[in-house]
Each structure stands twice: as structure tokens, then as C-alpha cells.
């Protein structure tokens, strides 16, 4: 019994972004090939092919097996197994492989069999075992491939937003103008405000309900890969701990739907932007700003009313917190 070993290593470069292609011509890319494996006689032949591939960013992923490629003779029977190298044993009694049988000669149609490998390849290295018998010169081969789409969504910022929020998208194969692109949150269409071949600005529909959605871009007859995005409820200001105070007074604003990233929250005292030092989903810590027309003073001698407002990720929060610019603060 003769055993042959084929080692295939998938490099990280396989997962990198690819140049823009014709939107009407998706291209198949072979990631790995096994064989051709040729029978040396009318006995059982065994072949194994360790594969190490990060399938995180590769889809679709198709395994295609061919019995008798070209004009070669066919194996009389064949079995193909998929096993993980991290399993306790990769071979059973007599050298027969452990693992999941993914096909036999009964699955072949005109000498070929194709299957979706999404979810079948585990972390670490996976091993494809081929065992079968055929006359001398009988040949089998396989390949692992994907389809390079002309349309790919590579980045969405931010990935957590609110109804009415603004998103920045990057990728390849986008339409050159906003009208050339359609963006969907599941089945709900969003507004595209600007676009180029590699970037796009999108507004989240203002009536979107909170939840997790799959965002996709459609250009002509092409649909991009989906990217998950979370939509929270519209932020809301319910009050603050200090109702009055001078410049540099530290104030905590209360509400809901705030970003936990301080820089994503914009706090205004009237028309003046304040500095945000920290934030949670339900509170923002800020400092009363100097108002330009005070001439350097920290407050008006006569208390002056203003409102504290908040914008989160470009989305204005509901509600406001009244505030007085005074020499002495009160709660």
C-alpha cells in the first residue's frame, strides 16, 4: 500500500483585498490543488493533503473533486474524508482515516463532485484523505476555490449606530455616484449620500428599529458580502446633576443610548461645544465651557439660561438639560 503526502500552506496574502474587477464577470480563484494522484496498480491507494487556511474572510469556499481529469482513467471506487489535525488521532485501524466522509464515487456526476466547505474547515490544519482503487494510471484530483466578486464591502464605521446615523463604507467595485448604489439593512433600503468606486456615505433610515442587521450593497446585478451592524435606539437626554455653574464646572449628563467612546458624544452648552472626559451608555461627564462673549470671565453676573444638548455618532439625542451660567453652581 503506497501512501503519498501533499502539504499545502495557505498564505495570509490570500485574504487580502483584490483589485476591482468587471462587475459583470466574477472570477474563480483556486486556493489549493490536490493531485493529480495516479494509481500505481490495481490495489488500494491512499493520499493525504494537510491544509491550513484561515477561512474567516473567504467566501464562498468550494471543494471540487474530479475522478479522471482530462482523458485520464477513473478510479473504480473512491472515498474522501475530512479530518482535523488537532483531533486525538488522524488515522484509525490499519491506517484507515478517522474523520467525516464527505463523498464517495456515488456522489460523482460525470466524474465530478462539488460541495460547499463553509463551516467545515476548523481552526488549525485540516486534512483531506483520499482512498480508492483503480487500474494503473487511474487519476483523481481536487481543488479548493473561491469566487472573487467585483463588489466587496471591506469596512463599515461605526458598526454600532442609531436610526438616522451616518456610516462610512469602504470596499471595491462601488458605483461611481450615489445613484449607482443601493444599500440594504436586511430588506430595508438606506439612503446613499455620496459615493466613489471605493468609498460611500450612508444614512441609517430614521425609522429603523433597534437590533442586529446584515448590511449589503447592490450595484447592478451584483450583491456584496454582508457585514453585521447593530442599531441602537435613539439617544436621549433626561437631565444632569448640576443645573447651574461657572465655566470649568464638571457636569454629569444622564440619559440613554450614549456611546461608551467619549469622542463619539458631542455635548453643547447652547452653541458652545464642551469637552467630554468620559462616558457610559447612560451618562456623560463633561465640563462647562467658557462662553466667548464673557470676555474671559467664567460666568455672567446675571444668571443666563442655556440648554445642554447631545449628539451621538451624528444623531441628535431626544431631550435636553436646562443649565444656568452662574457664579455659583447649584444642583
Are the CB atoms for 169 and 202 separated by under 8 Å?
A: yes
Please name the residues in contact with 139: beta carbons below 8 A apart, sequence gap of 6 or more: 35, 36, 37, 38, 39, 68, 69, 72, 73, 74, 75
Please name the residues in contact with 315: beta carbons below 8 A apart, sequence gap of 6 or more: 161, 162, 163, 164, 165, 234, 235
Q: Which H or E element spans position 28?
A: strand 27-38
Are the CB atoms for 75 and 108 separated by under 8 Å?
A: no
Residue with cell 495570509: 12
pLDDT of residue 76: 94
All three cell numbers of 127: 486534512
pLDDT of residue 57: 53
pLDDT of residue 86: 56
pLDDT of residue 330: 59
Report the distance separating Cα 199 and Cα 170, nearest Å.
Answer: 4
Are the CB atoms for 224 and 171 separated by under 8 Å?
A: yes
3-state DSSP call for residue 95?
A: helix
Ordered by where they begin, the domains of the chain are 2-148 (2.60.120), 152-231 (2.60.40.10), 236-325 (2.60.40.10)
Give the chain's count of helices (H) and strands (E).
Answer: 0, 28
331 residues of the chain, pLDDT tens digit each: 444 433 333 333 333 333 333 333 566 778 878 889 999 988 999 998 877 666 655 667 889 999 999 889 999 999 999 887 654 444 444 455 668 899 999 999 999 999 988 778 776 678 889 999 999 999 999 998 877 667 889 899 888 888 888 899 998 888 888 998 999 999 999 999 999 888 999 999 988 888 999 999 998 878 888 999 988 888 899 999 988 888 888 999 999 988 888 988 999 998 889 999 999 999 999 999 886 654 445 555 566 788 999 998 778 888 999 998 776 655 5
Beta strands 44-52; 8-9: pairing state: parallel
3-state DSSP call for residue 96?
A: coil
Report the distance separating Cα 127 and Cα 130, nearest Å.
Answer: 10
Are the CB atoms for 217 and 223 separated by under 8 Å?
A: yes
Residue by residue, DSSP assigns 147-216 as EE-S-EEEEEE-SEE-TT-EEEEEEES--SSGGG-EEEETTEEEEEEEE-SSEEEEEPPTTPPSEEEEEE
Global pTM value: 0.43
Report the distance separating Cα 181 and Cα 172, nearest Å.
Answer: 12
DSSP symbol at 15: G
pLDDT of residue 22: 34
Task: Report the candidate in 88, 103, 236, 217 with the shortest Cα–Cα distance to residue 162.
Answer: 236
Amino acid at each position: 500500500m503506497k501512501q503519498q503526502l501533499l502539504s499545502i500552506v495557505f498564505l495570509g496574502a490570500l485574504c487580502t483585498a483584490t483589485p476591482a474587477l468587471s462587475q459583470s464577470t466574477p472570477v474563480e480563484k483556486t486556493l489549493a490543488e490536490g493531485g493529480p494522484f495516479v494509481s500505481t496498480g490495481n490495489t488500494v491507494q491512499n493520499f493525504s493533503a494537510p491544509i491550513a487556511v484561515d477561512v474567516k474572510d473567504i467566501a464562498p469556499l468550494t471543494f471540487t473533486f474530479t475522478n479522471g481529469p482530462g482523458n485520464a482513467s477513473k478510479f473504480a471506487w473512491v472515498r474522501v474524508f475530512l479530518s482535523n489535525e488537532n483531533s486525538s488521532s488522524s488515522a484509525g485501524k490499519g491506517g484507515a482515516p478517522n474523520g467525516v466522509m464527505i463523498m464517495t464515487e456515488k456522489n460523482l456526476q460525470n466524474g465530478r463532485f462539488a460541495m460547499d466547505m463553509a463551516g467545515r474547515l476548523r481552526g488549525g490544519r485540516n486534512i483531506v484523505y483520499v482512498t480508492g482503487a483503480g487500474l494503473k494510471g487511474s487519476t483523481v484530483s481536487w481543488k479548493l476555490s473561491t469566487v472573487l466578486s467585483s463588489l466587496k464591502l471591506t469596512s463599515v464605521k461605526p458598526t454600532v449606530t442609531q436610526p438616522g446615523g451616518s456610516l462610512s463604507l469602504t470596499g471595491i467595485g462601488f458605483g461611481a455616484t450615489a445613484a449607482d448604489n443601493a444599500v440594504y439593512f436586511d430588506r430595508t433600503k438606506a439612503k446613499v449620500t455620496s459615493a466613489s468606486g471605493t468609498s460611500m456615505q450612508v444614512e441609517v433610515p430614521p425609522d429603523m428599529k433597534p437590533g442586529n442587521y446584515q448590511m449589503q450593497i447592490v450595484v447592478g446585478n451584483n450583491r456584496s458580502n454582508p457585514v453585521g451592524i447593530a442599531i441602537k435606539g435613539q439617544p436621549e437626554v433626561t437631565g444632569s446633576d448640576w443645573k447651574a455653574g461657572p465655566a470649568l464646572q464638571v457636569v454629569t449628563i444622564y440619559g440613554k443610548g450614549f456611546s461608551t467612546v467619549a469622542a463619539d458624544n458631542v455635548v453643547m452648552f447652547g452653541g458652545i461645544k464642551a469637552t467630554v472626559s468620559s462616558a457610559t451608555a447612560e451618562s456623560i461627564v463633561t465640563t462647562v465651557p467658557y462662553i466667548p462673549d464673557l470676555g474671559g470671565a467664567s460666568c455672567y453676573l446675571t444668571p443666563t439660561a442655556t440648554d445642554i444638548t447631545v449628539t451621538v455618532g451624528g444623531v441628535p439625542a431626544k431631550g435636553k438639560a436646562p443649565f444656568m451660567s452662574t457664579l455659583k453652581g447649584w444642583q
